[in-house]
Structure 1
Amino acid sequence: MEGAAVVSRRAVQRLRGGHPWVFRSDVERRPSQTAGIVPLEGPDGAPLGYALWSPLSEISLRRVETDLSRTPDAAWWHEKLRAAIARRAPLAGEANAYRLVHGEGDGLPSLVVDKYGDVLVIQLLSAGVDAWTDAIVSSLVELTGCTGILARNDPAARGREGLPREVKLLYGEVPRTVEVVEHGVRYLAAPWDGQKTGAFLDQRENRVLIGSLARGQALDCFAYHGSFALHLAKKADQVFALDVSAPALARVHEHAERNGLTNIEPVEGDAFDILRAWYKEGRRFDTIVVDPPAFAKTKSAIDGALRGYKDINLQAMRLLAPGGLLFTASCSFHLSRGHFFEMLQDASADSGRAFALRAITGQPLDHPELITVPETGYLKGALLEAMS
């Protein structure tokens, strides 16, 4: 086919296995056009569908369509976005903030769309999808009735695609903060400059889980703006929200007031140091959440990350009162589920205590993880009970 990208036999096998990526080394003939959508062919000329084309990226092609009769155009984008949004219908009664498009998980590689109330925050993370910005924005406005769309195009992935890293208003107006209502809890998201696209939407169901079980003295480690702490405070007697950032803790205080909660105490400091000090002081907690940032941002960082995860979980296990509950999580993609649970086993053994596994958690409905595309999954969590 004229203008088609021809890929190697190795790439064909990968595509047949359900993974949409083709790496630069597997492109046998580059398409002549600039970034966008191009036809795909195998080395024998057999058509393979259509893919997003990124001329400068290590991931050169991302397949988006296998049906040769459906040439991707503006109408195609509209239908794909409509289907992704429809999958989130069950969430509308639970929260006003959730992910509408999860990249490869929704068959739309390198595109992220998050909803915060009446506004959307999007990330266009490849040159191929960036070329379709206007069509994507137009469809999102029509499908959602949003009042504003902000592009949080500041991740490092954009630089690897030869694209500018920027935060840019694409449509309407987007305020500096938006109130999120999540299972009755209210907090502020910061679309322009907050973590990720403004808040940590992927932990929504986990916050509800541990919040429903919380009791006594509770501790939220790496609290950031207190999303876990707010849920814990509904049932716990007292919640300590621990974070190294004073500005983040000021937002925790603001969120507590917004929810009429008087039992949250912000604590500023390094979680590793403070948990060790509290253990020496003989303090104990009935409910603990350990939700650290990604310690392993690259594959080479795994060994160091495992030491960090084990250390903080060991300190939390030592602080947990008998019968207490620990919810712990990792958002590091490079840390596999196997590594995560081996780490918890090692921490439990070193603590000298017995812990029962009460629940294993993953990603919520709005962050679908495809079993043939490991890159769509990164979040793993465990609920543990101290048996001794």
Structure 2
Amino acid sequence: MGKRVYCERTAVVSRRGASRVRSGHPWVYRSDILEAAGEPGDIVRVADRRGRFLGRAFYNPRSEISLRIATRSDVPVDEGWFYSRIARAAAYRDSLSMDADAYRLLHAEADGVPGLVVDRYGPYLVVQAGSAAVERRLEWVAKALQKLCAPEGILARGDFAARRLEGLPRRVEVLSGAVPDSVTVRQSGVLFRVSLRKGQKTGLFLDQRENHRVAGSLARGRMLDVFSYAGGFGLHAARRADSVELVDSSEPALRAARENARLNGLENVSFTRANAFDLLRERAAAGEGYDMIALDPPAFARERRDLDAALRAYKEINLRAMKLLRSGGLLFSCSCSYHVREWDFKQILRDAAADAGRRVRLREWRGQAPDHPEILTIPETRYLKCAALEIL
């Protein structure tokens, strides 16, 4: 018998798709693929209409984002490739000198591994596979993480909604070692008890870590933390403020926040289960006053079609918060909706200030923590917006 020759599958993309790849963006949509074959999670060669090499990509015909460029170099995307990308991401985190033992170790496309997220919580790692190609190669990912990070356990959180876009099942499983249900971690001197299997995202909103720290350093007087979840803004503020009230509509979130307040020995924190819109409206009507308010709502615009309603919701909560703040008061207002762009959010804040009749100074415009890096050619990696505002 003759020697078997391996034939690599090639995906041919349109002129628009090729231009997008050459611009540095890793996503090619199904509508820009002229020719392709393979199974979900295959790695394919990508070429333009003239057959010129563009890179190698994760392929999934079930997904609207059918190609995710893994490399623009003519190299194999194999176990060694995964190891080198994870090692490079880990080395970057080591360079950041973060005051925390919980942080993002690898941030998907921003670290060159499309669809892979890895978060560290003390001695444990939590992995999220958001692409079929990563899902099929989780064994490689786990081996690299074990060698590079020596964790006590690695947990795969495959229970987030975006996996259905890749045709992936929802499941949570231990990839190696042993992983407890919860673990205590430190963020800028504040302790948090994290539910690794059931907490939102992978357990904490790690991208807000530096914003929580800055808010805590400026806190004073009476503080209101709305959409508080586990208390990120409020518990940092409680070390300086006279009193802090955490508000969330979720009882499990408030239970977690109570436990975190107890862990830190904070006795100036109260907890209110309420709809944020109703509470802000009622407090403003009652003439209440605060020295600091944090607004960190969930993404109001998960899809572009939600944008108009989201803009109205963001304006409503910011208008009410501005009315509640005393002169000299501080507002930390956040949006994690990618579809709400920075200029949209700034205009929302301008309109809210005008309608509230308040003169507002922008003290600082902030984004996500540096362990969630932004790549200039991938706008989607810049998603978190945080405005630190002062009422004059």
Q: TM-score, normalised by structure 1?
A: 0.97
Among candidates 217, 221, 227, match of residue 216 of structure 1: 221
Residue 172 (structure 2) aligns with: 167
Among candidates 343, 346, 349, match of residue 348 of structure 2: 343
How far apart, in 2, do the equivalents of 1:267 and 1:91 lie? Answer: 36
The answer as to 2:7 corresponding to 1:5 is no
Root-mean-square deviation (CA, aligned residues, Å) is 1.3
How far apart, in 1, do the equivalents of 2:307 and 2:256 lie? Answer: 32
Among candidates 210, 227, 244, match of residue 205 of structure 1: 210
Give the secondary-structure state (helix, strand or coil) at the position aligned to 1:346.
Answer: helix
Among candidates 11, 23, 26, match of residue 29 of structure 2: 23
Count of aligned residue pairs for this structure pair: 386
Is the CA contact 2:322–2:356 (under 8 Å) kept in the aligned structure 1? yes
Q: Aligned in 2, Cα 1:242/1:127: closer, same or farther, shift over 3 Å? A: same
The answer as to 2:37 corresponding to 1:49 is no
Give the secondary-structure state (helix, strand or coil) at the position aligned to 1:350.
Answer: helix
Is the CA contact 1:36–1:132 (under 8 Å) kept in the aligned structure 2? no
Is the CA contact 2:22–2:54 (under 8 Å) kept in the aligned structure 1? no
Among candidates 40, 51, 61, match of residue 46 of structure 2: 40
Residue 182 (structure 1) aligns with: 187
The answer as to 2:238 corresponding to 1:233 is yes
Runs of 4+ in 1 over 4 A off after TM superposition: none
How far apart, in 1, do the equivalents of 2:250 and 2:11 lie? Answer: 48
Which region of structure 1 is more displaced relative to structure 2, 89-98 or 296-305? 89-98
Residues 314-338 of structure 1: CA distance to partner in whole angstroms, max 9, x if unpaired?
A: 1110010100111100011111111
In structure 2, runs of 5+ residues without a counterpart are 1-6
Task: Tell me by how many angstroms 1:362 deviates.
Answer: 0.8
Q: What one-letter code is carried by the residue in structure 2 that aligns with 1:304?
A: A
Q: Aligned in 2, Cα 1:278/1:34: closer, same or farther, shift over 3 Å? A: closer
Task: Tell me by how many angstroms 1:293 deviates.
Answer: 0.8
Q: What one-letter code is carried by the residue in structure 1 that aligns with 2:103?
A: Y
How far apart, in 2, do the equivalents of 1:91 and 1:241 lie? Answer: 30
Is the CA contact 1:126–1:157 (under 8 Å) kept in the aligned structure 2? no
How far apart, in 2, do the equivalents of 1:267 and 1:21 lie? Answer: 42
Q: What one-letter code is carried by the residue in structure 1 that aligns with 2:390?
A: E
Is the CA contact 1:3–1:33 (under 8 Å) kept in the aligned structure 2? no
* Structure-to-structure mapping, 1:1-388, within 5 angstroms: 2-32=8-38, 35-68=41-74, 70-91=75-96, 93-387=98-392
Is the CA contact 2:319–2:352 (under 8 Å) kept in the aligned structure 1? yes
Give the secondary-structure state (helix, strand or coil) at the position aligned to 1:31.
Answer: coil
Task: Tell me by how many angstroms 1:32 deviates.
Answer: 3.8
How far apart, in 2, do the equivalents of 1:82 and 1:41 lie? Answer: 28
Task: Tell me by how many angstroms 1:189 deviates.
Answer: 1.4
Residues 258-304 of structure 1: CA distance to partner in whole angstroms, max 9, x if unpaired?
A: 10111111112112112222222221011110111111111111111
Residues 111-169 of structure 1: CA distance to partner in whole angstroms, max 9, x if unpaired?
A: 11111111111111111222211111110111110111111112222212121111122
Give the secondary-structure state (helix, strand or coil) at the position aligned to 2:119.
Answer: strand
How far apart, in 2, do the equivalents of 1:131 and 1:32 lie? Answer: 14
Q: What one-letter code is carried by the residue in structure 2 that aligns with 1:31?
A: A
How far apart, in 2, do the equivalents of 1:274 and 1:101 lie? Answer: 38
Give the secondary-structure state (helix, strand or coil) at the position aligned to 1:302.
Answer: helix
Q: Aligned in 2, Cα 1:385/1:44: closer, same or farther, shift over 3 Å? A: same
How far apart, in 1, do the equivalents of 2:318 and 2:203 lie? Answer: 27
Q: Aligned in 2, Cα 1:32/1:93: closer, same or farther, shift over 3 Å? A: closer
- Percent identity of paired positions between Structure 1 and Structure 2: 48
Residues 175-233 of structure 1: CA distance to partner in whole angstroms, max 9, x if unpaired?
A: 11111101110011111011111111010000001100000011101111112111000
